[in-house]
Amino acid sequence: MQPSHEVTQVLGTMILYGFTFVFSAGVYASLYAAGMITGKRSLIWLSYVFAALLVWGVGGMVLSGHLDRFWSGLMLFAGAVYLFLPQMTWWAVREFHRRHIAVERG
């Protein structure tokens, strides 16, 4: 039994949006961290392009109508968390190192 054209189209659409979401989230976080480490604002701004692609991927999945309410909500939540994760992680790393240096200095 071969899949129908509609099923193939749905799978292709969801794979495109899903891959865009996951790939852009990783590149966004990597570029943001690289920009913060090197102090290059251009890398940070470039990371925001991938953040926008992340939003496009999540939005495409949710607005496609192929996900039920639970999965749409989960994707919206995950997308929102991923948007702030690089900044929260950078803050946590800096805070950890600040406290560690303060303890070492006594």
Place of tokens 């604002």: 41
38, two tokens: 């090197």
Does the predicted TM-score (pTM) go above 0.75? yes
Q: Enumerate the H helices of 39-68 as residue ranges.
A: 41-63
Dihedral of the CA atoms 48, 65, 74, 87 (nearest 10)?
0
Place of tokens 């496009």: 56
Exposure pattern of 23-42 as b/e (b: 16+ CB <10 Å)?
ebbebbbebbbebbeeeeee
pLDDT tens digits, one per residue of 53-105: 999 999 999 999 999 999 999 999 999 999 999 999 999 999 998 888 777 77
